[in-house]
Chains A and B, each alone.
Chain A
Amino acid sequence: QSALTQPASVSGSPGQSIAISCTGTSSDVGGYDYVSWYQHHPGKAPKLMIYDVSNRPSGVSDRFSGTKSGNTASLTISGLQAEDEADYYCGSYTSRTTYVFGTGTKVTVL
């Protein structure tokens, strides 16, 4: 199972909005509404930010939003803040009853 494709890096200034794409296939991202997004600060445990494509767990800021079109999902961070600087991974259920993560995107706040 190949990893989902994400851009290696995305950057933005405080207050701006950025979007991270996550491209898979019809056997994962495109076939199911079980796409999640995780925030990972180095040395800490990953944190679930979005599940089921567009739902936010309790406690996650509404500055984070998720969408999906075809085989590509996207995470948008609005009103970018310094604390948002981290690695972000998408993840998806697959047709083989496995799970696949994206390649990861490093978000830099300029």
Chain B
Amino acid sequence: EVQLLESGGGLVQPGGSLRLSCAASGFTFSSDAMSWVRQAPGKGLQWVSAITGSGDSTHYADSVKGRFTISRDNSKNTLFLQMNSLRDEDTALYYCAKEHQSHQLLGGMGVWGQGTTVTVSS
């Protein structure tokens, strides 16, 4: 069974940093692009970032570019999101998601984790 388990969320002050992790199992991790998607309280889904299966190409939403860094460790089947210079508006439930089709990027997210909550507040 394909599973994604996020961790690393928590309460952080504005300007602070946090690193999210997503442990993957049940599929060939290195074959699939991965994304982070967030949902702020009472708001809709917002795509944050994506990375190819090999990790050689990364992509970001304008709202996080220069502050967030996506990466992956294919030897440990784990996806990361390093979040720096956090702002109040980054408060959200953060999901990691697996591309539906292998070797495709941003064609659709077929499996999602349950999410980890990030709260930015002083």
Is A101's CB within 8 Å of the partner chain B?
A: yes
What per-residue 1/0 map shows which CB atoms of B88-122 lie under 8 Å from chain A? 00000001010011000111111111110000000
Does A1 contact B44, Cβ atoms closer than 8 Å? no
Does B44 contact A51, Cβ atoms closer than 8 Å? no
Does A1 contact B105, Cβ atoms closer than 8 Å? no
A104 to B46, CA, bound (A): 11
Does B112 contact A45, Cβ atoms closer than 8 Å? yes
> Residues of A within 8 Å of B, CB-based: how many?
26
A48 to B112, CA, bound (A): 9
CB-nearest residue of chain A to B4: A45
Does B61 contact A91, Cβ atoms closer than 8 Å? no
Which residues in A have their C-beta under 8 angstroms from that of B60? 98
Does B106 contact A48, Cβ atoms closer than 8 Å? no
Is A52's CB within 8 Å of the partner chain B?
A: yes
Within 8 A of B (CB), among A18-62: 34, 36, 38, 40, 44-48, 51-52, 57
Is B62's CB within 8 Å of the partner chain A?
A: yes
CB-nearest residue of chain A to B47: A99
A102 to B62, CA, bound (A): 17
Is A64's CB within 8 Å of the partner chain B?
A: no
Is B50's CB within 8 Å of the partner chain A?
A: yes
Shortest 8 CB-CB contacts between residues of A and residues of B: A36-B108, A51-B108, A45-B112, A104-B44, A99-B47, A101-B45, A99-B106, A93-B106
Known: A45-B115, A48-B108, A104-B44. 17 other contacts (CB 8 A): A3-B44, A34-B106, A36-B100, A38-B109, A45-B113, A45-B114, A46-B37, A46-B95, A46-B97, A48-B100, A51-B107, A89-B44, A98-B47, A98-B60, A98-B106, A101-B44, A101-B47
Q: Taking beta carbons and an 8 Å cutoff, which residues of A are in contact with B?
A: 1, 3, 34, 36, 38, 40, 44-48, 51-52, 57, 87, 89, 91, 93, 97-104
